[in-house]
Amino acid sequence: MKAIVFKIASLFMALLVLLSTLSFSVGMHFCGDSLVDFSLFESVDSCTMEAEPVKSSASCEMLDVDCCSDVAFVVEGQQELNLSFDPLTSEQQLLVTSFVYTYLSLFEGPSEDSPHFKDYAPPPLIRDVQILDQIFLI
């Protein structure tokens, strides 16, 4: 369960970074009241001189004016994602290396190759205390 929540949160944060840096533009070309051209990432094609403009409103017909118009929506994303990184001083480098070394040594298990008490000899058994005190594990 914890792994699934972690994966969902990491995917959400990755999409958040992607969408905050994404920029795009939407361009639309209208002739009168009708949409003639639509473009998502490029500029739209405007009316050419050979094509007759569509005149749907009465004011355009009376004034004999070109009723074509271009509308563009631009959504700009965040561009400044560079973090300033100053070089570390020698004290900070020492702190980072000691932290990393101690943190990584937490996950190492004891090595089986080295005997722990190779120079230690157990004391001689003078008397058996369990039998003298009559203490037995049942």
φ, ψ at 8 (rounded to 5°)? -65, -40
Determine the pLDDT at residue 82. Answer: 65
71 Cβ partners below 8 Å, 6+ apart?
27, 28, 29, 30
In the block, tokens 């972690």 appear at 6
Q: What would the pLDDT profile of 52-90 be if each residue is shown by its tens digit? A: 445 555 545 544 456 788 888 887 877 776 666 778 899
pLDDT tens sequence across 24-55: 888 888 887 888 888 887 777 776 534 444 55
Q: In a 3-state reduction of DSSP, which class is residue 111? A: coil
pLDDT tens digits, 118-128: 788 888 888 88
Euclidean distance between the first and the last CA atom of the chain, given in angstroms as a whole number: 44
Against a cut of 0.75, is the pTM above it? no
